[in-house]
Amino acid sequence: MKIGIDLGTTNSAMAVFTEDGEVEILENETGDPTTPSLIFVEENNGDGDQLTIGKNAIRKRRVNPDRVLSRTKQYIDSNQEKTWKIDGNEHTPRDAASYILGHLFDQAEKRLEEEVTGAVITVPYDFGATGRRATEDAAKLAWGEDFEVHQVINEPTAASLAYVHQMGTTGTVLVYDLGGGTFDATLAKASPSLIQVISTEGNRKLGGEDLDDELYEHVRQKIIDEGLTDPEDVNAHTRASLREDVTEAKERLSDLKSETIVFEADGDVAEIKISRSEFEAAITEKIDTTFDKIETLFEKDTVVEAGITPGDVDHVLLVGGSTRIPLVQDRVKDFFDVDPKLSVNADTAIAEGAAIKAAEYSDLEPENVPRIGVGDVLSHSIGLEDNERKFNLFLEADTGVPEDETMGPYTNPQANPKHLEIPVWEKAEDGQDLGDINEDPDDSDAPERIGGLTFEDIGDVEAGEMRIDVTFEAKPDGTLKVSAEETEVLNRTIETTIEGLGLSKEEIKERREGDEDRTGVDLVDEFSGISEQDEDD
């Protein structure tokens, strides 16, 4: 059985495409369509870490907020080694993803009463090769090195897939995705057979939890005005409880006009009443910033060149729990002058899209499987490092992934090199002027080395004698094949697939068997580099 998984920052969901041609949401043990992506590490009783995942972890967080791993996905695409230490044990973002995925797989198999052998998993549009690969490795760590991650696809693309398949939505679509921790807006052209993404813009640091913060500050001020102790000065447990109450009140304010929060500290009790309009006033600036991003999206070269303006948007697809807020829906309607689509569930649309893609790898009769192609844009610029440590732009961020692209010729800067290495890098910013490669460990946006090719056993050559053409080729599963052809000295072609730096099958096996020492593959440290050579040299 193949399933689709939305491994979210705040909540995760799963779905499966059935024999009847329907998408079925795989509910968890408590019958909920989504599971909070939250891990509570139980007190270590000597048997290794016992984990509680999902709704129960939220409950336990009220009592013990320090034993929780939350929003771990925000760090999985980073080249910085962020870890959480509880009872002396370290947990990486990839570990956290594997705990959540392991829990989800268990739930899926219980629901389906069948073995799950593979999945399509979604990631944010702006994940680079590292985050995509770490997500894939996390699934294998959770489920075994032979578990198949058939594709890692972008969240907004998956949501569009769900709408195209479930609702027959076609035309120019804008996916407005406001989840727990992130916002993104994706513009795409959708037909029954293809979703062509034009461009995406977003804010990785804006989501429902920021709206919680705004409401918390508002409630806190009201508590102080009532003459009670400032919630920031009470114990961690009371503060954590107030935060949970604020989030619950926020969610209820999507349906109700007012809500009451009870706050108790130092023997005093206050009932704090909040109206929906107070909440809206508290978050309006944050919601404004999502529309600033949408304006930026429509100013981007790719969108301007495609001649698309906000007036051309036929459908706005709402995705993410925070789009249930009436103010968000009203603002979307005002901006685009269209009624936003709510028909596919905002919480599960991404998982549904992933399930539709996963069906292509299932053993369902081919004629029963929807085949909707996806044309995505690159999240990062990809290029080569040359001999002067400069980034040679190959594929530019925010452009479509070309079928193939060749650059060169390059040559060897030194005579008789033992080996010649062609490192491949990615860089988050778009634009041609990418400057020097910098390896600042504190800069999470710094360019990242995602792979490379090495000519070995070169033998005697003069400096500048070799001629190497490098070709990048997009494969249907979303990975990039890079090949380098040397035509002057070696007459040899070498190739590799860029999947980010991750774990090998053996490493996954060893880690699953408890070997904690090995955490990643080694890079070849020695830099030899290549340099560009003019065609008529």
Q: Interface with ligand AMP by CB under 6 A: which residues? A: 8-11, 179-180, 208-209, 247, 250-251, 254, 320-322, 324-325, 347
Considering beta carbons, is residue 181 or 452 the nearer one to ligand AMP?
181
- Contact by Cβ (8 Å): 264, 169: no
Q: How far is the CB of 3 from ligand AMP (least distance, A)?
A: 18
Q: Where are the alpha helices (DSSP H) in 144-275?
A: 155-167, 208-225, 236-252
153 pairs with which residues across the strands?
122
Considering beta carbons, is residue 3 or 246 the nearer one to ligand AMP?
246
Q: How far is the CB of 119 from ligand AMP (least distance, A)?
A: 19
Q: How far is the CB of 11 from ligand AMP (least distance, A)?
A: 3
- The Cα 450–Cα 424 span in angstroms is 6
Considering beta carbons, is residue 166 or 483 the nearer one to ligand AMP?
166
The residue behind tokens 């705040």 is 10
The residue behind tokens 């249930």 is 324
Considering beta carbons, is residue 184 or 486 the nearer one to ligand AMP?
184
Q: How far is the CB of 329 from ligand AMP (least distance, A)?
A: 11
Three-state SS for 95? helix
Considering beta carbons, is residue 36 or 502 the nearer one to ligand AMP?
36
Q: Which of 230, 155, 162 is nearest to 25 (CA)?
A: 162
The residue behind tokens 């195209």 is 164
Integer-rounded Cα radius of gyration of the chain: 25
H/E segment holding residue 242 = helix 236-252
Considering beta carbons, is residue 9 or 290 the nearer one to ligand AMP?
9
What's phi and psi for 469, nearest 5 deg? -105, 135
Q: How far is the CB of 178 from ligand AMP (least distance, A)?
A: 8
Residue type, 504: S
Considering beta carbons, is residue 201 or 347 the nearer one to ligand AMP?
347
Considering beta carbons, is residue 77 or 499 the nearer one to ligand AMP?
77
- The Cα 470–Cα 410 span in angstroms is 8
Q: The tokens of 181 are what?
A: 């921790």
Q: How far is the CB of 322 from ligand AMP (least distance, A)?
A: 4
Considering beta carbons, is residue 324 or 511 the nearer one to ligand AMP?
324
- The Cα 98–Cα 408 span in angstroms is 40
Residue type, 64: N
377 pairs with which residues across the strands?
400
Q: How far is the CB of 132 from ligand AMP (least distance, A)?
A: 19
Using a 10 angstrom Cβ sphere, with 0-12 exposed, 13-18 middle and 19 or more buried, the burial of residue 509 is: middle
Q: How far is the CB of 204 from ligand AMP (least distance, A)?
A: 13
Q: Which of 414, 411, 424 is nearest to 490 (CA)?
A: 411
- The Cα 230–Cα 221 span in angstroms is 8
Considering beta carbons, is residue 320 or 423 the nearer one to ligand AMP?
320
Q: The tokens of 272 are what?
A: 């704090």
CA distances from 2 to 151, 284, 317, 355, 499 (A): 11, 41, 26, 8, 21
Q: How far is the CB of 258 from ligand AMP (least distance, A)?
A: 15
Q: How far is the CB of 232 from ligand AMP (least distance, A)?
A: 21
